[in-house]
Structure 1
Amino acid sequence: MPFTLATWNINSVRLREALVSRLLTESAPDILCLQEIKTPLELFPYEGFAALGYRHVVARGQKGYNGVAILSKLPLEDAGDRDYAALGHARHVAAKLENGVTIHNFYVPAGGDIPDREKNVKFGQKLDFLTEMRDAFHADNPAKSIMVGDLNIAPREDDVWNHKQLLKIVSHTPIEVEHLGAAQEAGKWVDITRQDIPTGKLYSWWSYRSPDWNAADKGRRLDHIWATPDISNAAHGSRILRDVRGWEQPSDHVPVLATFDL
């Protein structure tokens, strides 16, 4: 049975509940993975999403920061979480569908502004988080799995608006790309978006700092959908909903989608 999955860093689900509802109504993915929900779960807007058919929710919340959630029309069960790098942050949650597919939803630390772990604790935490992801994938040898989320790294030259200018900017530095690549290789993950759209500039994030994000178009592809090799060939229909960045009071990220025939 085919299903469509979306991932979106919403930057506060309570502030942008109307935008999530609009996406669920207009694009109607079967599963939506959210990052930066920024709320304890007792305040999560379950009822509004349930009214749209998304009655199954697996989430980890945190007051004011972080937080990840998986909303689904399809039945799923909680498959746990990990506290990567022992940060005490709600940055990972997993859920399992009835067809046996496990979905991992990640929010990797942004890493601050200085790409030097000696000068910037947050950058060190980001690298440690990625290292623990690598080690976990090595140990778990994931199968029949999909991994999505705001990974806060644009790995390819065509995942950023200007490769040379961003080589020293957090999210595109060689050491971050190397760490993300090691995590991807450890799980043998396939980058589904780039499997479907192998060439050309692709962005899923545009800074709030730009007075005209659309005209400047200084984007980065920070949001990803990966799958294990045993199901990667079942994926198709990848797309990034750029227009969502122009909605009223938007997140600085936009949804990334893919369909799987499983």
Structure 2
Amino acid sequence: MSFTLATWNINSVRLREGLVARLMTEEAPDVLCLQECKSPVEKIPLEQFHALGYRHMVARGQKGYNGVAIFSKMAIEEVDAQDFASLGHARHIAGRLENGVTVHNFYVPAGGDKPDREINEKFGQKLDYLSEMRDYFNASKPEKAILVGDLNIAPREDDVWDHKKLLKIVSHTPVEVEALAETQAAGDWVDVTRADVPEGKLYSWWSYRAKDWDTADKGRRLDHIWATSDIASSAHSSCVIRAVRGWEQPSDHAPVFATFDL
């Protein structure tokens, strides 16, 4: 069985319902994971998505911020939803597809502006969140699983537009990169995107502050698709749909795709 999965920080599913529907129509992933939905679950617009074949959803929501949802053409049942770092935020949902694959959808805290937990509480929360993710996967030892989401860290030098300039910028600091690596190792996760696209600059986020984001191309790869090592070799056709960042009233993120043959 082959299925395609996508992850996308939508920056308000209600405001950008039309963009979600357009992606569902034009790219038609079997599973679409959204972050930063900014909506209570009961107010997520479902009618149009159902009409496009996405009749199944598991989600955690909040009014105005955070929020994660998994839309699927296949049946999916919720199996977990963690509140790492006890923030009271809707940042994680996990569902098991009818083919037995568990999908974890994460929205890791951004971490604020200063990479110093002594003066920036949000940075400390981000590091604590990652530590608890690591401990969770150390304890659970996932199998036949996929982890996706806006992890808010660009780990590799070629995941940012300028490695040296961003070393002290939140999302690319060594302490964050190390914390993400520990989380990845804990679950024996394979970075599917970079397994498929091992070399070269690759981004999934471009700041709203850049008016000509496409030409300036000062991006970062903050959005990820990982798979446990038992199924990672089945993944292929990874890509970032960069053009979506140029749609009218876009999110500042572009969706990331991968296909799995299981």
Class of the TM-score when normalised by the shorter of the 2 chains: over 0.9
What is the Cα deviation at residue 32 of structure 1?
A: 0.1
Match of 2:217 in 1: 217
Q: How does 1:8-87 map to 2 (within 5 A)?
A: 8-87=8-87
Q: Percent identity?
A: 73
1:131-142 to 2 correspondences below 5 Å: 131-142=131-142
Q: Distance in 2 between matches of 1:166 and 1:58?
A: 35
Distance between the aligned counterparts of 1:179 and 1:232, measured in 2? 22
Between the two proteins, the alignment pairs up a number of residues equal to: 262
Runs (4+) of structure 1 moved beyond 2 Å?
none
- Gaps (5+ residues) in structure 1? none
Determine the structure 1 residue equivalent to 2:249. 249
Q: How many angstroms does 1:25 deviate by?
A: 0.1
User: What SS does structure 2 have at the residue aligned with 1:32?
Assistant: strand
Q: How far off its partner does 1:68 sit?
A: 0.1
Question: Once the 2 structures are TM-superposed, how far is the Cα of residue 7 of structure 1 from its aligned partner?
Answer: 0.1
SS for the counterpart of 1:49 is helix
- Structure 1-normalised TM-score? 1.00
1:232 Cα offset (Å): 0.3
Mapped partners of 2:48, 2:131: distance in 1: 37
**Number of the residue aligned with 1:157:** 157
Taking the aligned partners of 2:46 and 2:128, their CA distance within structure 1 comes to: 33
CA distance, structure 2, for counterparts of residue 146 and residue 194 of structure 1: 15
Q: What is the identity, as a one-letter code, of the residue corresponding to 2:68?
A: V
* Equivalent residue letter for 1:54: Y
Q: How far apart in 2 are the matches of 1:107 and 1:205?
A: 14
CA distance in 1, matches of 2:230, 2:41: 34
Counterpart residue number, 2:147: 147
**In 1, Cα distance between equivalents of 2:232 and 2:148:** 13
State the shift of 1:113 in Å: 0.3
- For structure 2, list consecutive stretches of 5 or more residues without a partner in the other structure: none
Amino acid at match of 1:174: P
Q: Deviations over 1:67-114 (max 9, x none)?
A: 000000011111120000000000000000112110000000000000
